[in-house]
Each structure stands twice: as C-alpha cells, then as structure tokens.
Amino acid sequence: MNVEHVLTTCPYCGTGCNFFLQVVDDRLIGVVPCKTDEISRGQLCIKGYNAHAFVQHPDRLKTPLVREHGELKQTSWEAALDLLAGEIKRIKEKYGPDSIAFLASAKCTNEENYLFQKLARAAVQTNNVDHCARLCHASTVTGLLYSFGSGAMTNTIPEFENADCIFVTGSNTLEAHPIIGARMLKALDRGAKIIVIDPRDTPLSRLAHIKLSQRPGSDIAWINGMIKVIIDEGLVDQDFVKTRTTDFDKLKDVVKDATPEKVESITGIKPAELAEVARVYAKADRAMIAYAMGVTQHSNGTNIVEALANLAMVTGHIGSESNGLNPLRGQCNVQGSCDSGGLPNLFPGYQRVDDEKARAKFEQAWDVKLPAKPGLTLTCAIKEAAVGKLKAMVIFGENIMMSDPDLGHVEDAIKELELLAVIDIFPTETSKFAHIVLPAACYAEKDGTFTNTDRAVRLIRKAVNPPGDAWPDWKIACELGKRLGAKGFDFSSPAEVMAEMATVTPIYGGIDHDRLDREVLRWPCPSKDHKGTRILHTQKFTKGLGTFAPVDHAPPAETPSDEYPFILTTGRNLFQYHTGTMTRRSSKLEREAPEPYVEMNKGDAKRLGISEGDRVSVSSRRGTINLKARVTERIIPGSIFIPFHYAEAAANRLTNAALDPESKIPEFKVCAADVQKG
Ligand code: SF4
C-alpha cells in the first residue's frame, strides 16, 4: 500500500497546528503529527488527530442545488451560477447594492476571503461583507485598534513556555486551544505562575496557582480593581507609561473609585485575593495575558478588551519576549479572514474603506469605483433582513442558524430574504432555508493559506480530490465575479490570488506561497526580504503611543430576575467544534461528547430537585431548549453553562442579541435564564 503524506494545517482551532494527512488512492486514512512544526512540535489534540474523519463523510454536498416548488433539486454549475448571478443583478438593480450582504468565512482560506470581499466591493459595490469574527473577536479588533493600533496577539505561541506569569481569563485554553494549553503547562513545569479568572472551573484552572471566580459580566470591575492595587502599591512601570503611552491620568481618574469593597460587591472576588493576583502579575519579569470569548462576547466587550490592554500597559508587560496581551482566536482562519478584509469597514490589511487614500489605492488596483460607506455587520444585517431592508445574503461557509444569538429571530429574518445562497461542505441548519446551495471543497481538497492566532501564515495543501462536483470556494468566487461582469477574477490558482493580495495589503506585502513552503512568516511582513514579525509593539505601538482607555464597569444587558434567576453562559468542549458541522460527523469525537447538556451548581440543582442526568428545560426570554443536567461544582452558584455545538438543543435559541455598540458583538456570555426539571 502506497501511503502519501501531505503536510497541511489543522482546520479546527486558531492554534494552527501543522500535520500530515495520510492518503491512499485519493482517500484520507489518518493524520500524523509534524515534529518540525514550531507551533505543534509533534503534538496534536484529539480534534487534530481526527481531522481527516469528516472529509469523506457521505453527507458531503456533491452537486449544486436550486430550490424549486419548495424543494432543493440538483442542477449543473452553469445553471446554478447563472441563476445566482442573475438574482444578485436583479436585486441590486431593484433595491440597490446595499440590499445585498456577503458572509466571508473563518473556515475558508485567506485567498478565498480576499475574493469574497472583492466580490462584495468590486463586483456588487457594497461594503456589506462580514464573517463570524463578529461573533467572537470583533471587540478585540476594535478594542486593540484603539489601545495599540493593531488587533492581534502581540506575541507568539511558543513564548508562553518562557513566561514567568500566565494570566488567563475568559479562556478554557486546555479544551478550546489544547496545544497552546500544553505550552502553558510546560511553563508551569518550569515554575511559572498561572492565574485563572473565570466563572467556571476549567482543566487549566485546576492546575493554576490562583483561581478566582468572578460573576459573569463583572470583568471591568476586577480589572480596574487590579490596576488600582498596582497604582496604590507603587507597582506601575513608570518609565514605560511615560515614554510609550498616553492618557494615564484619565485611567487613574476612573480606577480611583475601584475600591476593594466596591469591586467585591460587583464581582464577588475577595479583596485580598485580587490584590495578590495584581502583585503576582505586576512583579513578574515576563507576564503574558491570554484571553478568549469569555472576555469578548459581552455588550461592553470592546471596553473589557481595552481594560486588559490598560493592565498590560500599566505594568509594562507588553512589547518584549513573553510579555504581551494575547487574544486566542477560535477558528482556523478567523485571524486571516479579518486580515483579508472580510470586515465591513476595512479593506485587506485593516485599511479603512472610508479613508480616501486607501480607497483610491484599491480603486486603482481593481479598476473600479468603490463605495465609501462602511457596510453592515453580520449582526446588523440580520436585523435589516428582519425588517425587509436587506434582500439577499450570499453565505460562504458559515452556519448562522447555529452560531448567531437569538436563533428564532435569525430564522424569521432569513425567511424574509428574496435570495439566500449558501456555499458549504455539508448541508447545515442554514442551508435548509437557502434558495441556492453550492457544494464546496474542504481544507484537504484545495491549496491556500490560513493565518493562525499568532499571525503565522500557514499553507494548506490539496491532499485529495473534492467529492462529486464540489469546487473550491476560490473558484466559485471567481466564476461568480465573472458572471457579475466584474474585472479581476481571472485567477488560476490560490497562489496567484495571494500575489495580488500582497500588492494591496502592506502587512502581507512580502508573503507568497513559495516563501511559506520554506519558512514561518508572521505578519507584518512588508517585503520579500523581511523575515516577518514575532513580537508586536517592541519599540513603539502600531499607532505610536499606546492609549489608556478610561473604561468603567457597566452591568450586562440582562440581569437575573425572579422569572429568569440564572445567568447562562455558553462555550465549547474539547471534542466538538463550533456549530458541530465537522466534528459531529467524526465518529470518535461524537462518541466522546454526543449530546447537549447544561452544567449547573450542586447547590442550585439540589434546591430544584435536579440530579445528574435528569432532563431539564432551560428557558430565556427568547426560547426554551431541553437537555440533560450535569450537576457539578465547576460552576458558581447562580450560573449555568451550555456548549453551543448541538443543533438539537441549540444554546443560541436562548442567547441575547444585545450588541456592544462599538464592535457589534453580541452578548453571548450573559443572559438571564430559568431551569426547570422535566
Ligand atoms: Fe487542531 Fe487546535 Fe487541536 Fe492544534 S490545538 S490540533 S490546531 S484543534
């Protein structure tokens, strides 16, 4: 048996581990780790080891489908693309370009996302293009742009190993980013101190030196409380604050009110414990903060991110080896889809669409007039569809009927659309409502790049052919662009697309597929002789001086009431991934975590007469789901947790669509809920 090994990048979390796909006769038979990969170093988590399993699942979409008389019927690519292009043209002519929205995809490559946003901007003349970063780290992008001028991990994954203090909040790192968690455990072995602040116990928090549990929705209060301790005890890095930052006085003015008593009353954290955390973090030589969606998915998510940036700057823990602020991105290419311009206000490389100079550059490169007005975010597009203002959505590789908040509202909204086109690898909860469904190739069936959470641009390589008549998304985007009459969609390979993207995206200016074959490149990499950038903000911040944001505590949009006495928070588990489209079709992963559950505190369960494994209904103001109870001490009294992977009890039927005003990220992490037995 001749086994071929094809080096590629994991399609699951944003860690971006490389591994070899094992191929026999155009079929995947397994995954082998790559020892020379500087990210994974020969390790993989269970999802990585099973990353081949869903690829040849019989459910894969294999032919284009078009809805006729209420049913999806098979058709040819020619017919489906002609219909899609014709409908886009009709709707554009009748209602204007801003009646159409495109969704790019954190599961597609940089090259594909570059083409998706080019389709929206150059072929349809709308900036209505967004993707699921809106639902996970949009507040990181807005918050860190304000504080530092750049919204990405400031350091690299290997640096966790050499930190003296690792401060983790809002991240279940060992389950959601296991190989990054493994680096943290190496640091622990070396004697580093790990601090975790989280409403739940996590596998990492059980090993931490200090674990504190805050009330959900109280993050700015404890962060400001820490900063007050640092100021009061003379632990500020005065030199750093003086030479590298601005607006420290404004911050001091806000945090002076964060007294220990006040902070405890908001957060539930004891003053002495918070002071100890502040001292350990501030006094460490090398301290890295890691955070994820527990921080970002709030109606004040941008401000929480800015508060963490304040904490890093006030102690000078930023801009050097193993010192920094590190948002852990959830999906394989969510960093890259932001970099590639899958955002309604930004061209590729974070260049503003309302900046005349930037727009002129893209107009010249693409030979077309471009719109100046920022487009709709994904969350606002749903609201506009619900009131009949948005008429069409073209969705590449996203499952909004699982991933968005308040799914009842999303369903009502997409039923109003005159055109819903879904391009995906499997039928999804969203494609059930589509007028046109196009079959796409998955990561193992095409070439391209993903950018992982530490800004490393990583090749994916074609190992097998797509099933049936499925096409890679980049080819679908090109064919659609040509049918819409746009110029600049004549690409014959992803490498050619990257070559064009590099010419208009300064942070990717020196990146090409040939180089990536030989070396690890992290952006910014502005020229062909540049080696890429491991650590951001070393001499100065991207924006010059770092800016302290004077942010203060604000309550979540919903707080518990008599009718809804619990706070529901959502998240992931180790074996499933995002909306379950891929992992739930991987038999070994599904075997380990096959059904939805709600975690609740032992005391709460006893009071309600609920035992481990009982069926319960969980309700919010938006809906009810039924699932099994897991009775545990992992979660604080008054809070419950539901993973959002399971369509049969979709947590997002319950979540609140209240938005952070700046980033428009929804408040997934706090909603008022009730639990009843039965
Ligand atoms: Fe894949 Fe993330 Fe696991 Fe690495 S840690 S193998 S990237 S899921």
Q: 237-266: per-residue pLDDT in tens?
A: 999 999 999 999 999 999 999 999 999 999
Handedness of CA 659, 575, 197, 146 (dihedral sign): negative
Which of 38, 47, 334, 578 to mutate to test ligand 1, by most ligand atoms within 8 A of the CB atom? 47
- Ligand 1 atom, smallest distance to 45 CA: 3
Classify burial at 667, counting beta carbons within 10 Å of its beta carbon; exposed 0-12, middle 13-18, buried 19 or more: buried
The residue whose CA is least distant from atom 1 of ligand 1 is 48
Domain assignment present for residue 610? The answer is: yes
Give yes or no for a contact between 157 and 537, defined as CB atoms under 8 angstroms apart.
no
Residue 419 pLDDT exceeds 90 = yes
Handedness of CA 208, 209, 215, 221 (dihedral sign): negative
Mean pLDDT, residues 422-436 taken together: 97
Give the CATH number, domain containing residue 42. Answer: 2.20.25.90
Domain assignment present for residue 461? The answer is: yes
Q: Is residue 23 located within the same domain as residue 99?
A: no
Q: Is residue 369 located within the same domain as residue 324?
A: no
Q: Find out whether the beta carbon of 179 lies less than 6 Å from any atom of ligand 1.
A: yes
443 Cα: distance to centroid of ligand 1 (angstroms): 14
| Interval 585-633: pLDDT, tens | 999 999 999 999 999 999 999 999 999 999 999 999 999 999 999 999 9
187 Cα: distance to centroid of ligand 1 (angstroms): 19
Residue 1 pLDDT exceeds 80 = no
- Ligand 1 atom, smallest distance to 11 CA: 1
State the chain's mean pLDDT as an integer: 95
Residue type, 231: I
Mean pLDDT, residues 472-481 taken together: 98
Give yes or no for a contact between 319 and 154, defined as CB atoms under 8 angstroms apart.
yes
Q: Is residue 239 located within the same domain as residue 116?
A: no
Domain assignment present for residue 138? The answer is: no
Which pLDDT belongs to residue 450?
Answer: 98
Give yes or no for a contact between 647 and 400, defined as CB atoms under 8 angstroms apart.
no
Asked which of 328, 346, 375 is the last residue of a domain, the reply is 328
Which of 44, 157, 172 to mutate to test ligand 1, by most ligand atoms within 8 A of the CB atom? 44
Quickly tell me which residue has 């746009």 as its tokens. Answer: 486
Q: Find out whether the beta carbon of 47 lies less than 6 Å from any atom of ligand 1.
A: yes
Q: Is residue 369 located within the same domain as residue 475?
A: yes
432 Cα: distance to centroid of ligand 1 (angstroms): 29
Q: Is residue 159 located within the same domain as residue 289?
A: yes
Higher local confidence (pLDDT), 257 or 135: 257
Instruction: Sort strands 546-547 and 566-571 into parallel, antiparallel or unpaired.
Output: unpaired
Domain assignment present for residue 101? The answer is: yes
Domain assignment present for residue 398? The answer is: yes
Cα torsion 380, 382, 387, 389 to 10°: value is 70
| Interval 149-159: pLDDT, tens | 988 999 999 99
134 band by pLDDT with thresholds 50, 70 and 90: confident
**By mean pLDDT, which of 128-142, 217-231, 354-368, 544-558 is the weakest?**
128-142
Asked which of 328, 353, 368 is the last residue of a domain, the reply is 328
Domain assignment present for residue 527? The answer is: no
Asked which of 522, 548, 582 is the last residue of a domain, the reply is 522
14 Cα: distance to centroid of ligand 1 (angstroms): 7
Q: Find out whether the beta carbon of 475 lies less than 6 Å from any atom of ligand 1.
A: no
Distance CA 228, CA 289 (A): 18
Q: Is residue 323 located within the same domain as residue 336?
A: no
Q: Is residue 270 located within the same domain as residue 388?
A: no
Which pLDDT belongs to residue 297?
Answer: 87
Q: Find out whether the beta carbon of 524 lies less than 6 Å from any atom of ligand 1.
A: no
Asked whether the bond before 524 is cis by omega within 30 degrees of 0, the reply is: yes
Q: Find out whether the beta carbon of 407 lies less than 6 Å from any atom of ligand 1.
A: no
Classify burial at 272, counting beta carbons within 10 Å of its beta carbon; exposed 0-12, middle 13-18, buried 19 or more: exposed
The token duo for 119 is 């389709």
Residue 451 pLDDT exceeds 80 = yes
Q: Is residue 165 located within the same domain as residue 260?
A: yes
Domain assignment present for residue 12? The answer is: yes
Q: Is residue 352 located within the same domain as residue 477?
A: yes
Q: Is residue 307 located within the same domain as residue 176?
A: yes
Give the CATH number, domain containing residue 191. Answer: 3.40.228.10
Which pLDDT belongs to residue 133?
Answer: 83
Name, in order, each residue with C-beta under 8 angstroms of 278's C-beta and a sequence gap of 6 or more. 225, 226, 227, 229, 230, 233, 235
Residue 642 pLDDT exceeds 80 = yes
Mean pLDDT, residues 110-130 taken together: 98
The domain tally of the chain equals: 4
**By mean pLDDT, which of 233-242, 400-409, 569-578, 601-610 is the weakest?**
569-578
Percentage of the chain modeled with pLDDT above 70: 100
Domain assignment present for residue 70? The answer is: no
577 band by pLDDT with thresholds 50, 70 and 90: confident
Handedness of CA 228, 232, 236, 239 (dihedral sign): positive
Mean pLDDT, residues 457-480 taken together: 98
The token duo for 213 is 């549990």
Q: Find out whether the beta carbon of 15 lies less than 6 Å from any atom of ligand 1.
A: yes
Give the CATH number, domain containing residue 593. Answer: 2.40.40.20
- Ligand 1 atom, smallest distance to 177 CA: 5
| Interval 296-337: pLDDT, tens | 888 999 999 999 999 999 999 999 999 999 999 989 999 999
The token duo for 27 is 């079929």
Which pLDDT belongs to residue 572?
Answer: 84
Give the CATH number, domain containing residue 387. Answer: 3.40.50.740
- The helix (H) or strand (E) run that includes residue 195 is strand 193-197
Asked whether the bond before 203 is cis by omega within 30 degrees of 0, the reply is: no
Phi and psi dihedrals of 485, rounded to 5? 85, 15
Residue 561 pLDDT exceeds 80 = yes
Which pLDDT belongs to residue 571?
Answer: 87
Q: Find out whether the beta carbon of 48 lies less than 6 Å from any atom of ligand 1.
A: yes
What's the predicted TM-score (pTM) here?
0.95
Residue 294 pLDDT exceeds 90 = no
Domain range for residue 375? 79-130+332-522
Which pLDDT belongs to residue 583?
Answer: 92
Q: Is residue 394 located within the same domain as residue 511?
A: yes
Q: Is residue 570 located within the same domain as residue 511?
A: no
The residue whose CA is least distant from atom 2 of ligand 1 is 13
Which of 21, 31, 45 to mutate to test ligand 1, by most ligand atoms within 8 A of the CB atom? 45
The residue whose CA is least distant from atom 4 of ligand 1 is 17
